Structure 1
Amino acid sequence: MTFSLTARCEITGAFGMVVSSSSTAVAARCAFARAGVGAVATQNITDPRIGPRGLDLLETGLPARTVLERIVESTEHIAYRQIALIDSQGGTAAYSGANTLGTYASAEGRGCVAAGNMLAGEGVVAAMVDAFESRSGRSFGKRLIRSLQAGLAAGGEAGPVHSAGLLIQAEVSWPVADLRVDYSDTPIADLTALWELWKPDMDSYVTRALDPSKAPSYGVPGDP
């Protein structure tokens, strides 16, 4: 029902995730990240509790693979879950339980990990990793979007997708990007357009939050 890529920007240290699914509002349940700590994707028959729990374990300094082992060893119904995570150093790990739906796979790359279930083919996740790696040094958000587009181009889900999301967690405690298309016939195209609208203003919203006096304008009618 889902394909995703979770990653760390090698330049800024930001964490991010993109995800798409045939289900409604996928990003609300599956995407979790914390500044300076890492990111967790929890999907398939989703248990959203795994996201914060994984981040808490990562925050203790444990590497991604050890965190995953602890989650797998101690989580009820783990056979139904698919998990991918990345730690503060860019280390990755992935797990697909025995009851993961349909064709499923995961792939790890340099500072990224992709996972999916109910896929059109196992090559979907490898295509996502390749797309992310091939754009090293460019805009982190754009690299995430391109990886989602590559997954769709490689076949995506076995059926049509209807929701998508992009999450980026940078230096501040809140997400600098938390974009969601909760239901659409073209969710990845819609998410791409939403990113292009958000990208020019993303840093400005951080400035306005931290010190409004340094913001040249607030971008609203009547603001000089």
Structure 2
Amino acid sequence: MTFSIVARSADGVALGVAVASKFLAVGAAVPAAEAAVGALATQSYANLAYRPQGLALLRTGTAAADVVAGLTAADPARDSRQLGVVGRTGDGATYTGAGCHGWAGGRTGDGYAIQGNILAGPEVVAAMESAWLSSDPAADLAVRLLAALRAGDGAGGDKRGRQSASLYVVAPGQGYGGTSDIVADLRVDDHPDPCAELARLLDIHTLLFGRPDPATLLPLRDALADEVRTLLTARGHTASDLDTALSDWAGIENLEERLVPGHMDPLVLTHLRTP
């Protein structure tokens, strides 16, 4: 009923899951991940108990293949299950029960597991694997996961149609304000084109919550400081300290994660210049 990719970033820091399905709110059932531990997807008559149980096993350092073996061996309904697991290191692992609706299957490699059921055909997981392997290893994990998911969607995806999609990524201390490990938790619960909508949400998420690239920061002085002061004043932010005025405005616009004292993120500047 679903196709998903569970993967680890090239540097091993981030872990995540991207999934789509002709199923209401698939993100509420399939994905699970814990920073510095691992990630998994449970689907095809999903056994939601796999999520806490799988993470508990991964927390002990159990290899992905052994996590899959342990979870499915203890499940009397395993023939109807599908599961993908990735740990902190090593290859991902996938399982497709003999009773899953066709087409069903998966592919794995170093740091990833791709799986799906009720698919248009094996070309769906093949396209996902190709997109994953050809993506830039240095790119954000969320971007790479979404590219793989959209490749599967473009190859036919769930043969029943489209309804929902989800993207979940974790990394130690990289969530909002540095107080969470959840980098992205985006869900499209009911939409005619959920993967495209998920891409739109990720673009907004990146703008609002992405960290600025230090190489692109502009010194907030001279003519730029004068322009920013004028724009902020026009919006009613008149604190004498420019960084304070900018922070007041950015907090209202939900751009506070992109602020660096004494500097300007070009994306924030573009937003400020927009009438």
* TM-score, normalised by the number of residues in structure 1: 0.89
Unpaired segments ≥5 residues, structure 2: 174-179, 212-245, 257-275
Distance 1:197-1:101 versus aligned 2 partners, 3 A rule: same
| Contact kept? 1:27, 1:166, Cα under 8 Å | yes
The 5-angstrom pairing of residues 54-133 of structure 1 reads 54-133=54-133
Report SS of the residue matched to 2:251. Answer: coil
Matches of 1:74 and 1:223, distance apart in 2: 47
Unpaired segments ≥5 residues, structure 1: 205-214
User: What residue is the counterpart of 1:146 in the other structure?
Assistant: 147
Percent of pairs identical after alignment?
Answer: 36
User: What residue is the counterpart of 1:51 in the other structure?
Assistant: 51
Cα offset, 1:158, TM superposition: 0.9
Cα offset, 1:69, TM superposition: 1.1
Tell which structure's C-alpha radius of gyration is larger: 2
- Which has a greater percent of strand? 1
User: What residue is the counterpart of 1:169 in the other structure?
Assistant: 170
Alpha-carbon RMSD across the aligned residues, in angstroms, is: 2.1
Cα offset, 1:159, TM superposition: 2.1
Residue 194 (structure 1) aligned with residue 201 (structure 2): yes
Greater relative CO, 1 or 2 (CA 8 Å, sep 6+): 1
User: What residue is the counterpart of 2:158 in the other structure?
Assistant: 157
Residues 64-87 of structure 1, C-alpha deviation per residue, up to 9 Å, x if partnerless?
111111112112311111000001
Q: Residue 188 of structure 2: which of 181, 191, 208 is its match?
A: 181
| Contact kept? 1:109, 1:133, Cα under 8 Å | no
Cα offset, 1:187, TM superposition: 0.4
Residues 159-191 of structure 1, C-alpha deviation per residue, up to 9 Å, x if partnerless?
211000000011135421000000000100000
| Contact kept? 1:109, 1:129, Cα under 8 Å | no
Matches of 1:160 and 1:222, distance apart in 2: 35
Once superposed, which parts of structure 1, at least 4 consecutive aligned residues long, lie more than 4 Å away? 215-218, 221-224
User: What residue is the counterpart of 1:207 in the other structure?
Assistant: none
Distance 1:50-1:223 versus aligned 2 partners, 3 A rule: closer
The alignment covers a number of residue pairs equal to 215
Distance 1:164-1:223 versus aligned 2 partners, 3 A rule: closer
Matches of 1:20 and 1:68, distance apart in 2: 21
Cα offset, 1:151, TM superposition: 0.2
